Chains A and B, each alone.
Chain A
Amino acid sequence: MKAIIINLLKGFWLAKTKFALCVLASALSAWGIGTVAYSYMMSERDFKENFEQSNPANIILALNDSTSTFTDLLKKESSIQSLERRETVTGRIKNKRGNWMSFILYASENFENPGINKYKITAQTGQDTLQAIYIEKNGAGFLDLTTPLTIQFPNHAAADFASSGLVHDPGLPPSQMEQTVYGFAPIQTVGNFLNKSRRTLLIRLKDSEANATELKAIGKTLSEKIESNGGKVVGLIVPPPGEHPHQNIVDSLSFLQKSFGLILGGLGVILLSLILITWLYPQITNIGIMKAIGASTQMISVGYLTVLMMIILIGMVVGMPLAYKTAKFYSGFIAGVQNFEVVNTAFSLYIHALILLPAILIPILVASSPLLKP
Chain B
Amino acid sequence: MISLRKVNKTYKGLAGSVHALKDVDLFVGKGESIAIMGKSGCGKSTLLNILSGIDRPESGELVINEAVLSNFNENELAKWRGRNIGVVFQSYQLIPTLSALDNVLFAMELVAVIPAQNRRKRATGILTQVGLGDKLKKFPNELSGGEVQRVAIARALANDPPIIIADEPTGNLDSITGDQIYSVFEDLSAQGKNLIIVTHENISGRKFDRVIQMQDGILN
Taking Cβ atoms with an 8 Å cutoff, the residues of A that contact B are: 2-4, 7, 10-11, 14, 285-286, 288-299
Question: In the complex, what residues of B have CB within 8 A of residue A286's CB?
Answer: 95
Contact A10 B97 (CB under 8 A): yes
The B144-169 residues at the A interface (CB cut-off 8 A) are 155-156, 158-159
- The verdict on B93 contacting chain A, using a C-beta distance below 8 Å, is yes
Across the interface, B78 reaches (CB within 8 A) one of A4, A14, A294, namely A294
Contact B54 A292 (CB under 8 A): yes
Question: In the complex, what residues of A have CB within 8 A of residue B110's CB?
Answer: 3-4, 290, 293-295, 299
Taking Cβ atoms with an 8 Å cutoff, the residues of B that contact A are: 52, 54, 74-75, 78-79, 81-83, 87, 89, 93-95, 97-98, 102, 106-107, 109-111, 155-156, 158-159
Chain B residue at smallest Cβ distance from A293: B107
Give complex CA distance A299, B111 in Å.
11
Question: In the complex, what residues of A have CB within 8 A of residue B102's CB?
Answer: 7, 10
Chain A interface, DSSP helix/strand/loop, else mixed = helix
Contact A293 B75 (CB under 8 A): no
Question: In the complex, what residues of A have CB within 8 A of residue B95's CB?
Answer: 7, 286, 289
27 contacts between A and B (CB under 8 A): A3-B106, A3-B109, A3-B110, A4-B110, A10-B98, A10-B102, A285-B93, A286-B95, A288-B93, A289-B94, A289-B95, A291-B54, A292-B52, A292-B54, A292-B87, A293-B87, A293-B110, A293-B111, A293-B156, A294-B82, A295-B78, A295-B82, A296-B74, A296-B79, A298-B75, A299-B78, A299-B110
A22: min CB distance to chain B, Å: 16
Chain A residue at smallest Cβ distance from B86: A293
B169: min CB distance to chain A, Å: 14
Contact B97 A14 (CB under 8 A): yes
Chain B residue at smallest Cβ distance from A303: B110
In the A-B complex, the 6 residue pairs with the closest CB atoms: A294-B82, A3-B109, A296-B78, A296-B75, A11-B97, A294-B111
Chain B residue at smallest Cβ distance from A2: B109
Chain B residue at smallest Cβ distance from A3: B109
Chain A residue at smallest Cβ distance from B74: A297
Assuming the A-B contacts A293-B155, A297-B75, are A7 and B83 also in contact, with contact meaning beta carbons closer than 8 angstroms in the complex?
Answer: no
A281: min CB distance to chain B, Å: 15
Question: In the complex, what residues of B have CB within 8 A of residue A291's CB?
Answer: 54, 78
Give complex CA distance A35, B185 in Å.
62
Question: In the complex, what residues of B have CB within 8 A of residue A14's CB?
Answer: 97
Contact A297 B78 (CB under 8 A): yes
A280: min CB distance to chain B, Å: 14
A231: min CB distance to chain B, Å: 86
Question: In the complex, what residues of B have CB within 8 A of residue A10's CB?
Answer: 97-98, 102
A4: min CB distance to chain B, Å: 7
Contact A7 B54 (CB under 8 A): no
Contact A292 B98 (CB under 8 A): no
Question: In the complex, what residues of B have CB within 8 A of residue A293's CB?
Answer: 81-82, 87, 106-107, 110-111, 155-156, 158
Contact B97 A7 (CB under 8 A): yes
Give complex CA distance A299, B110 in Å.
9
Contact A7 B106 (CB under 8 A): yes
Question: In the complex, what residues of B have CB within 8 A of residue A285's CB?
Answer: 93
Chain A residue at smallest Cβ distance from B94: A289
Give complex CA distance A292, B82 in Å.
8
Give complex CA distance A293, B111 in Å.
8
B204: min CB distance to chain A, Å: 30
B47: min CB distance to chain A, Å: 15
Give complex CA distance A15, B183 in Å.
37
Contact B83 A294 (CB under 8 A): yes
Give complex CA distance A10, B75 in Å.
25
Give complex CA distance A285, B89 in Å.
12
Question: In the complex, what residues of A have CB within 8 A of residue B159's CB?
Answer: 294
Give complex CA distance A3, B123 in Å.
15
Question: In the complex, what residues of A have CB within 8 A of residue B87's CB?
Answer: 292-293
Give complex CA distance A296, B74 in Å.
7
Contact B82 A7 (CB under 8 A): no
- 6 more contacts with CB within 8 A, not counting A290-B110, A293-B155, A294-B82, are A3-B106, A4-B110, A292-B89, A293-B111, A294-B111, A294-B159
